Amino acid sequence: MRDVIRVLIADDETLMRAGIRLILENDPDITVVAEASDGRQAVELTLKHSVDVALLDIRMPGGDGLKAAEQIASRANVVMLTTFGEDSYVAQALKVGATGFLLKDTPPQELINAVRKAAQGEPILAPQITRRLIEKHLVAPDAGTDARRKIDALTETERNVLRLVGEGLSNTEIGEQLFMATGTVKAHISRILPKLEVTNRVQAAIVAHDGGLTRS
């Protein structure tokens, strides 16, 4: 039997939730296990259900998506859905631990693909968007020193994996470059994240950038 990706949708608009559910459940490997109309309910339902991916609207009454994301990120891979494309929203979402960021007008197949990637803990943002966010919002004056300290604690293999994560490669692509099985790449990343004191690979990519590990 195939593993089914369990999704929670949080949006205060009933029609938006229904539309997203309809798109996702066209894929046999995805099921929507819960719907929430505000951030507080999203947190409660995530605790109640076994959720792989939480799709959260940024602006909702009764607790917004950013606050919910901060509480959910340790239990599920969080993707922010919004009609607002400003970089500041993206930056805030990533800072609280979101795996990625999508606009609500994302085409159906891209939404399905994004949920599949998010379920694997892979970033949803294109590398060039991540770089712009890093440059504009996420780099502190001492970030380079702190990042280099964390990178120095990695093994050579872990540094190679982190470098490719920082360049936006998927687990499969990293495996091809480093001649590793995809499962081995995942295992390396699971060890790298706590060493870097981060919760997801987007934040790990930021450390790689700050520490001068990537070419961009």
Q: What is the pLDDT of residues 174-200, one digit of tens each?
A: 999 999 998 899 899 999 999 998 877
pLDDT at 216 over 90: no
Q: Which of 110, 66, 111 is nearest to 88 (CA)?
A: 66
Strand-pairing partners, residue 35, are: 9
Q: Which of 46, 59, 48, 54 is nearest to 13 (CA)?
A: 59
The structural domains of the chain, with segments of one domain joined by +, span: 5-125, 134-210
With CA atoms as reference, report the closest residue to 104 among 69, 123, 79.
79
Residues 6+ apart with CB under 8 A from 50: 6, 33
Q: What is the CATH number of domain 134-210?
A: 1.10.10.10
Token pair in block for residue 81: 């859905």
Q: What is the CA radius of gyration of the chain?
A: 17
Name the pairing type of β-strands 30-36 and 5-10.
Answer: parallel
* 5-125 and 134-210, same CATH topology: no
- pLDDT at residue 134, rounded to an integer: 57
- Select the more confidently predicted residue: 72 or 62: 72
Question: How confident is the model at residue 89, as a pLDDT?
Answer: 72
What span, in angstroms and rounded, lies between the C-alpha atoms of 6 and 13? Answer: 21
Distance separating alpha carbons of residues 211 and 159, to the nearest angstrom: 11
- Angle at which helix 65-72 crosses helix 39-48, to 10 degrees, equals 20
Cα 200 from chain centre = 7
Q: Are 35 and 10 in contact (CB under 8 A)?
A: yes
Confidence class of residue 94 from pLDDT cuts 50, 70 and 90? confident
- What is the CATH code for 5-125? 3.40.50.2300
Which of 29-33, 153-157, 204-208, 212-216 has the lowest average pLDDT? 212-216
Short-list 165, 172, 176, CA closest to 208: 165
Given this model, what pLDDT does residue 61 score?
Answer: 75
Across residues 1-11, what is the average pLDDT? Answer: 85
Q: What is the DSSP letter of 167?
A: T
Does residue 50 sit in helix, strand or coil? coil
